[in-house]
Each structure stands twice: as structure tokens, then as C-alpha cells.
Chain A
């Protein structure tokens, strides 16, 4: 029983990180129609930036606030100068462009910070362990589990009540309609891409104390978040939430119950979902 609950907690904390980065990925796909291979690299960049800020000013919170902003600014530049010319071109080429950006950023990080892994300590208030079910559990993971729904709620409020949130949601569902209503696509695209990057980098900054920071973390998480977004339904926010939870739990339970299979589970799930519901659990069937 304890093992079960610990698995649930582990699954939830990983799921919440996946949720944060999948949110950005799915928003960008829904609004812009671009599946962003470099999204994981933005997550990674968020982790590195916050690690660097923690080193300079030795405050986790400064890193958490400013790293995502830096990454968002970088992403805005990427969108403006690299992505914008390929809208309207073949989907394959958009995918390849973001693939190139991914290669560039992943290796760039290696060039700047070296190939080694770095450790970021959680802030004092979130350090240590918490007694739970007769065992101890890292407080930081509980913080992640709490911040996931909080962020989800915040985003939900943003999408439901704010003007921009409504516009983005409308555009994610129907791009043409948003244009008809008079949303200016270039500004919308740039802000959505920046927003997605901000979310990814926020996930990265939050992930830094959870796992070590190394140059491969982006590559690792992008595939998992692709799976989250595809099984949830591309462009669907509830889909990203449910998909991330499923994948998080699959990872933690798989690791203890079927360690040899665990790596393959997300892919098997992906194949099953795509073949039975090609547009994902929450996707609109075309």
C-alpha cells in the first residue's frame, strides 16, 4: 500500500512537469500548427538558466522568475526570424526547422556549460523530507505536485476570463475563424510561441532541483511530451493534463512493476491510442 501511494506521488510529480511543458507544446501546435521539436530544448534552457542564476545570486526564486522570461525572449526572436518565413510551407519543413533549432540549442548548451550534469539544490523552505505513510518523501516533489494543479488552475482562469486567453483558445480550436474575427496572426503567433516557451522554461526551472541538469534532458522530455500531446489530442488543454498524468503514472508504476518494459510503455500507449482514436483522447475527429 505504501509502495502504491509513493508510486502515485512520484507519478504525479513527474506528470506535473510533463503537463507544464506539454501545455506549451499543445498551445503552439493548436494555434500555429507547428509541432515544435525544439520545445524540449527550451525546457532544458530554462533549467540551465535558472541553474546559472542560482549560482550567481544563490536564490532559487530569482531563477524561477527570470529564467523563463529570458527563454521566452529568446523564443520570440526565434519565432520572428526563423519560424515566420516557413509558415504556409510544407509541415515537414516546419518540423525540420525546429529539429535544427533543437540540435543547435542542445549542443550550444554543451558548449557553454560542458557535458557534465549539474545539481541544483531546492530552496531551504522546500528542502528536506516529509514523513508520509510511515516513510519519508522529498518536500520538493510535494511542492511540484501542488504547483501543477495551481498552475493548471491559473492557466484555466487565464484562458477562461482574460481577453488574450480567450483569443488563444479560440485560435487553438479554429485558426481561420480567429483570423476572420480579426485577430492579427503575426502578433498572436509571436506571443503564443513566447508563452509556450515561457511555460517550457518554467517547467525546466522547476525540474532543475528534481533531476540533475544535463544536456540530454531536453531530448528526453520532448519525446515524452510529444506522446502526451498526441494521446491527449493536439491543441487540447484537458488532453495535455490527462495525458501528462497518464504518462507520469505509467513511468512510476512501470519502473517498479515492469522495469524491463517501462521504457517501451509510453510508445505502446501511443500506438494504441493513435490507432484507435487517431486524433487523441480529447481530439475532435475529423
Chain B
């Protein structure tokens, strides 16, 4: 048991160390791509807490992601230039928002849940799109001054891509540690039990809606966290970040990597962006490839890339054990 714990912990640590050292050898171009991958990984993983673990397909996750970006842009424009206050406002704000919206959405499940989350996400989209005086309308809110980080006499400039990369890595790692803890907690088991058989969970006396609401809120808050970073990364909070097609992106990246494995969405995100990078350098019709990839995945590898690999490896091990 402790061996497993140690192994997982070490693997995680190794990945973080490896990623932390990456900017030392990468060009700025790739550092920027990697920053986006890291931020979007947290977004996809927040979605997968609902999809892979709780069995709820949300088509409104972008609503919280975008809300995080808007909250931080508004905080920066009107209140403070502190990075951590920005993150805190983004996370707490989206958590509250997710709690209120979730309170309605968890009443339904399956397709009805997907449509209802899509509806609420699009309400947020139209709010951002039409409330010009506050949100800047379809132009979005440009972030003119990036927040600063000061440690006594040191001043860290977020304009520096490397610094921004490291900061994103730290923040996202924190988010992923939180997710990991949730998934391994008694509450995490309740989530998978709800996914497997929600009726049985309520027959042993647990209100399923409450379980789903808490999951919805946590997922919303972490999406908001990713959204804060994404807004700073692009120096803008724009309505597209709230649109349902952006929610679809989370779904795609998750399926690509595998919804049944903890790090599946992160792997999916990496593949997504690297593929996008290469394909768009040849053609503008990247969506056609994406559609074809998604169709092939659903038909042939529903467990995703990491999921398929993991099950292949465990089968191989099983064979080795028997021999």
C-alpha cells in the first residue's frame, strides 16, 4: 500500500521537476505553448472530476473557466495588482457561482444535465457579451497591467514568459494536488459510487444531489483557477472563453487522454495542443482533423490514449505474473 503511495507521489514529483526544468532548454515559443498546455490541463481535469469521476457530462464548464478570467480581470482593473488576491478572488468567485448554478443543475442528470449546464454556460456568455459597461462586451476585457509578485526586495515580472510559466506550474500543481486529495478521499469514493449507481447511493441513505453539488462546486472553482491564469496568459478575458464550444474543448481533451485515468485529461490536453500546433502549420482546417480524431477515439479507443496505454500495461503485467 505504502509502496503505491510512494510510487505515485514520486512519479508526480518527477513530472513537476521535469516540467520546472523544461524552460531552461526550451525556446520561448515552446515555453508559451507549454504554459497554455499546463493551464488547460487543469481546466480539463476540473471537467473530468464531473465527467470521469461523477458521471456528469457538463457542457457548461467554460462558464466557470471564463468567469475566473473575468473575475481576475475585474479585480486587476478596479482593486489590486496582487497575483494571489487575483487567484483567490477568481477561485472563490467561481466557487460561489458554481454553487448557485450547480444547485439547479444537479436536479437533473444525463442528457438533461448536459443541456441545462449548456444553457447556464450560455447565459454567462450572453451576460459577458451584452453587459458592455462592465465586461467590455464582445471585445472582452483587456488586462493592461499584469499583477506583480514581490518577495521582500525581489520583484517578479509576469511579462517574462519563463516567470509566468513557473507561476502557472506552481498554481496548477496546487490545483492538481487538491483534485488528487478529493479523488482519494471518502468523498471521492462516493463520487465514483454515484457514477456507478446513483440510485443505490440514495438507497443507503445519502442524498445524491448534495454529493453532486459539492463536486460541481469544486470543479467550478478549479476551472475558475485555470481561467484566472488563462486570462493573464492572454492578457484578456473574452466572451469566447465562456462559450459552449469552449466547454466542448474540455470534453475533447478529456476523451483524448482518457476520462478513466487521473492524469488522462492532462495527457489529452498535451496531445491536443501539440497536434493543433503541427496541423495548423499545414492547414487552417484543424477542426476537420479534430472531428475525425474524436470520431475515431469514440469508436476505437473510448478509454483514450493514456487509458488505453494503462490498461495495456496492466494486462502485460498480469500476463507476466501468470507466467
Contacts and interface: CB of A to CB of B under 8 A. Distances in A.
B295 A104 contact: yes
A268 interface: yes
A100 B294 contact: yes
Contact of A264 (B112, B115, B126, B251): B126
A104 B298 contact: no
B118 A223 contact: yes
Interface SS of chain A: helix
Interface residues of A, number: 40
A189 B129 CA distance: 40
A111 B115 contact: no
A101 B295 contact: yes
Contact of A93 (B114, B245, B248, B298): B298
A129 interface: no
A107 interface: yes
B104 A278 contact: no
Contacts of B107: 275, 278
27 contacts: A82-B299, A85-B299, A89-B302, A91-B111, A92-B51, A95-B111, A96-B294, A97-B294, A99-B294, A100-B295, A101-B291, A103-B288, A103-B290, A104-B288, A104-B291, A106-B287, A110-B287, A223-B122, A227-B115, A230-B112, A263-B129, A264-B122, A267-B122, A270-B115, A271-B104, A275-B104, A278-B112
Ranked nearest first, the 8 interchain pairs of A and B with the lowest CB-CB distance are A104-B291, A103-B291, A100-B294, A107-B287, A264-B126, A107-B288, A100-B295, A263-B126
A261 B123 CA distance: 10
Given A108-B288, A278-B112, A99 B248 contact: yes
A74 interface: no
Give the secondary structure class of B's interface: helix
B120 interface: yes
Contacts of B251: 96, 99
Contacts of A99: 248, 251, 294
A105 interface: yes
A274 B122 contact: no
B4 interface: no
B116 A271 contact: yes
Contact of A95 (B108, B114, B129, B130): B114
